[in-house]
Structure 1
Amino acid sequence: MSTATHRDAAEIGRTPRGPRPVPELGDQRAAADLSHVDITLGNGLRVLAVRKATVPLVELRLRIPFAGEDPLHAATAEVLVETMFTGTGRRDRIGIDTELALIGGELNASVDPERLSINGSALASGLPTLFEVLADVLTSASYVDNEVNRESARLVERLAVSRTQPRVIAREALLKHVYGEHPVTREMPQAEDVARVTPDAVRALHAASVLPRGSVLTLVGDFDPDGIVSRLEEALGGWQSDTTASVLPALPLVAGGDVLLVPRAGAVQSQIRLIAQALPRTDPRYPALQLANLTYGGYFSSRLVENIREDKGYTYSAHSGFEFTGRTATVGVDADTANDVTAAAVLETFYELGRLGLVPPTAEEVESVRQYAIGSLLTSTASQSGLASQLSALAAGGLGAEWLAEHPVRLAAVTVEEVAQAALDFFAPTRFTGVVVGDADSLAPKLAALGGFTVGEPAAS
């Protein structure tokens, strides 16, 4: 009986004639044909419209700052997005769906503690209809009683199921551990709060918070960017308010410290979630930090994946990446493991954090992640949908199409020394805190032996 041996990435990439070469990226170019306008309409709405005429379609992304301090805000906001497209003063649900279907279009809404997002698409020839339906919903969504009550009941059922999911439990535990009672922790409302939401409350929230001033509309597709502005001024002219959309309060800085063990009795798997303060995209050091993160755990050939997945088999998936909220950023690490290897996986995860700074990325590693970063950026923005989503995310941090076009050049200019310094400055183990969610009876003794762990309240189930 043969015994399989582990092969690292270098061995896997080797042929009888030597290492398999990584294809060159070739000459660097802009992430897209970024013929565009970036302008603020008379109602205060920022419009970022980019021409990408690869197919006769248009992608739409509308981001409205949507923070709220009211204890029922998260619940009311969730009911609002579930019922936003169920009718207006001029169209019922069927009317909205029919008009959009006739132009090959769709519109849908989602919400989180920071923003309300409306995403959609349509044939370029149907753009006037898309704008008309969108404007109708923004200015006169009706939220009739029976629609609100029906969707609220469905939402209560979905929340009950979601809250049993380990990844949801871990996410809520991490946010509470790091940010306490900050509104950013209310990503998912409580089912009992949703049951208390009334149609009047939903209508009042729309009137008070679905506002153009401070919001950003991103459009990408087969149109003339200059000609789109007058069309939008006309279509959205009735969406008016002197009030600015509500921005989420600034997040407190993440300080390193003990990791919290969140008991979940009887769980057979554990969720490891670590977090540290990072840099926003506007910081000159961000490109170097981006490459340091990729080296650590940001793609499949990273050090963390090589260690706890490929070499030791502790997890099927390990990952590190950035999360941007407003103009701040954090870097997170996540992995799910079986209970019997959780402590060992935690040890190796922190080991790789320390090793990244003390044994910095080599020139070969940096070049590999550089090519991955540039290539993945170009790939993700090759489609209209991908470009629209990227630009919409950048707009939340005050950036525009220029940043996206110039970023491959910034990545190409990063030196090995700059990546090493970013690794040392931002991936030191002492900068991280986080949570481990799992069965405390089996985990606590082993994690206590590692040090730096405290036991918290049991996870809600």
Structure 2
Amino acid sequence: MTSATHRDAAEIGRTAQGPRPVPELGEQRSAADLSHVDTTLGNGLRVLAVRKANVPLVELRLRIPFAGADPLHAATAEVLAETLLTGTTRRDRIEIDTELALIGGELGTSVDPERLVLNANALASGLPTLLDVVADVLTSASYVDNEVARESARLVERLAVSRTQPRVIAREALLKHVYGEHPATREIPQAEDVAKVTPEAVRALHASAVLPRGSVLVLVGDIDPQGVLGEIEKALQDWKSDDSAKVLPPLPEITGGDVLLVPRAGAVQSQIRFIAQALPRTDPRYAALQLANLAYGGYFSSRLVENIREDKGYTYSAHSGFEFTGKTATVGVDADTANEVSAPAVLETQYELGRLGLVPPSEEEVESVRQYAIGSLLTSLASQAGLAGQLSALASSGLGAEWLAEHPARLAAVTVDEVAQVALEFFAPKRFTGVVVGDAESLAPKLAALGGFTVGEPAES
């Protein structure tokens, strides 16, 4: 009996005649025509209901603008999100969970400096019950003292662990570097602030900020979009206010500049984070910029990944991508590297930024990222949850189902020259700033040699 010989991927991919040919990319389908209703109710709530009947389920996303300038707002908002579903004047926590279980449903919350989000799903037949539970927590969440105390204690423990994580430290350092004291920087509250939050403060925040006017409700599933409006309006008839939900103030524009070295004594890894201003989805050039980003670092076959991961082995993961806040957009680059290769990784990351503009993506590169962009978009819309998530994300820009349906055509129409133009303009190294979090004793001399770096205050950990 002969023993099997292990072959690596390169050997498997070759024949006696040379490398195996890569199959031709298939023809991309256009986005499906989405039967939907997009309207605003009398209480100021925008409702976007979409029929997607591939399974007898429904996905719900409620996005409430939830900004606040008070120093304790982030902590109070986090406690509110943790305790919103712990009981109402009609139901306690167990009754909420039981009613959701009977309709195969789940309901969760999340919050950040920009928004409070309710995420839910259920059997389509259970939608009236789901809407009733959602309406109940929106209008009569009780925030009883012992529930607030219990969830606050758990939150303090989680925050203590979270703030030791290098990626969390790097994220906070980056936001403070580019936005200063803007409320957007308070993504994770301080544990000591959470300890100060009282049940009265949580109830007051709910009354003043959990508001329908300016919020967006997305429903996707086995529903009649037009017919479901009556159900929604009936369920939410008591959720009303003359005030509007609080929108995050516009972010300061990022103009580039020195990269900040944030000392983290004894760290064996560094976190590299670069950021620059980008284009919002509403800009006619966004599709071209999306393709340029993919070519740079937006997917596994990108230039950045090929350079610092595949070729040089500096990092396991490198990535670039967009972040949208309100009507503004940024493009960010991130990589985590071992200390000894952090400075070379920074050099190569900046080199690839410059090369994207000076040696723009070829026709073959553009076609590859175009197919990837269209294919990944259509894949993300294939499920009800994916479509609901996309529509909820678009809501902050005032966009909806039409934008999604038309975007594959926009991507298909982008020319190689248009990609080259936005690459040169928006990926120029001088437009970027950022942070490197790591051991300053070993990194500072090397980064100083590269130029464009300053040393900041040590990271809290």
Shared fold, TM over 0.5: yes
* Matching residue of 1:28: 29
Mapping of residues 132-281 of structure 1, within 5 Å: 132-281=132-281
1:457 and 2:449 matched: no
* Matching residue of 1:120: 120
SS at match of 1:315: coil
Deviation string, structure 1 residues 53-82 (Cα, Å, up to 9, x no partner): 000000000000000000000000000000
Displacement of 1:24 after TM fit? 2.4
* Matching residue of 1:299: 299
Work out the CA distance in 2 between the residues paired with 1:412 and 1:95.
50
* Matching residue of 2:404: 404
* Matching residue of 1:353: 353
1:430 and 2:430 matched: yes
Displacement of 1:352 after TM fit? 0.2
Work out the CA distance in 1 between the residues paired with 2:12 and 2:311.
13
Work out the CA distance in 2 between the residues paired with 1:25 and 1:296.
24
Percentage of matched positions with identical amino acids = 82
**Matched AA of 1:152:** S
Work out the CA distance in 1 between the residues paired with 2:423 and 2:228.
44
Displacement of 1:23 after TM fit? 3.8
Work out the CA distance in 2 between the residues paired with 1:310 and 1:229.
52
* Matching residue of 2:342: 342
Mapping of residues 6-85 of structure 1, within 5 Å: 16=17, 18=19, 20-30=21-31, 32-85=32-85
SS at match of 2:319: strand
Deviation string, structure 1 residues 231-288 (Cα, Å, up to 9, x no partner): 1110000100000000000001001100000000000000000000000000000000
1:426–1:7 CA distance, 2 compared to 1 (3 A): farther
SS at match of 1:243: coil
Deviation string, structure 1 residues 392-441 (Cα, Å, up to 9, x no partner): 10111110100000000000000000000010000000000000000000
Displacement of 1:17 after TM fit? 5.0
Q: 1:75, 1:197 within 8 Å by CA — same for their partners in 2? A: yes
SS at match of 1:50: strand
**Matched AA of 1:411:** L
Deviation string, structure 1 residues 200-231 (Cα, Å, up to 9, x no partner): 00000000000000000001000100101011
SS at match of 1:78: helix
Displacement of 1:22 after TM fit? 4.3
Structure 1: gaps of 5 or more residues: 1-5
4+ runs deviating over 3 angstroms: 11-19
Q: 1:28, 1:409 within 8 Å by CA — same for their partners in 2? A: no
Deviation string, structure 1 residues 270-327 (Cα, Å, up to 9, x no partner): 0000000000000000000000000000000000000000000000000000000001
Q: 2:28, 2:375 within 8 Å by CA — same for their partners in 1? A: no
* Matching residue of 2:111: 111
* Matching residue of 2:5: none
SS at match of 2:127: helix
Work out the CA distance in 2 between the residues paired with 1:241 and 1:364.
54
Work out the CA distance in 1 between the residues paired with 2:460 and 2:149.
26
Work out the CA distance in 1 between the residues paired with 2:374 and 2:30.
10
Work out the CA distance in 2 between the residues paired with 1:18 and 1:29.
32
Q: 1:33, 1:52 within 8 Å by CA — same for their partners in 2? A: no
1:369 and 2:351 matched: no
Work out the CA distance in 2 between the residues paired with 1:180 and 1:77.
21
Work out the CA distance in 2 between the residues paired with 1:296 and 1:172.
24
Work out the CA distance in 2 between the residues paired with 1:391 and 1:368.
26
Work out the CA distance in 2 between the residues paired with 1:43 and 1:255.
40
**Matched AA of 1:124:** A
State the aligned residue count: 453
Structure 2: gaps of 5 or more residues: 1-7
1:133–1:442 CA distance, 2 compared to 1 (3 A): same
TM-score by length of 2: 0.97
Deviation string, structure 1 residues 322-364 (Cα, Å, up to 9, x no partner): 0000010000000000000000000000000000000000000
Work out the CA distance in 2 between the residues paired with 1:360 and 1:106.
47
* Matching residue of 1:3: none
SS at match of 1:113: coil
SS at match of 1:69: coil
Q: 1:25, 1:375 within 8 Å by CA — same for their partners in 2? A: no
* Matching residue of 2:320: 320
Displacement of 1:20 after TM fit? 2.5
Work out the CA distance in 2 between the residues paired with 1:41 and 1:298.
38
Work out the CA distance in 1 between the residues paired with 2:343 and 2:253.
27
Work out the CA distance in 2 between the residues paired with 1:90 and 1:121.
21
Displacement of 1:26 after TM fit? 1.3
* Matching residue of 2:414: 414
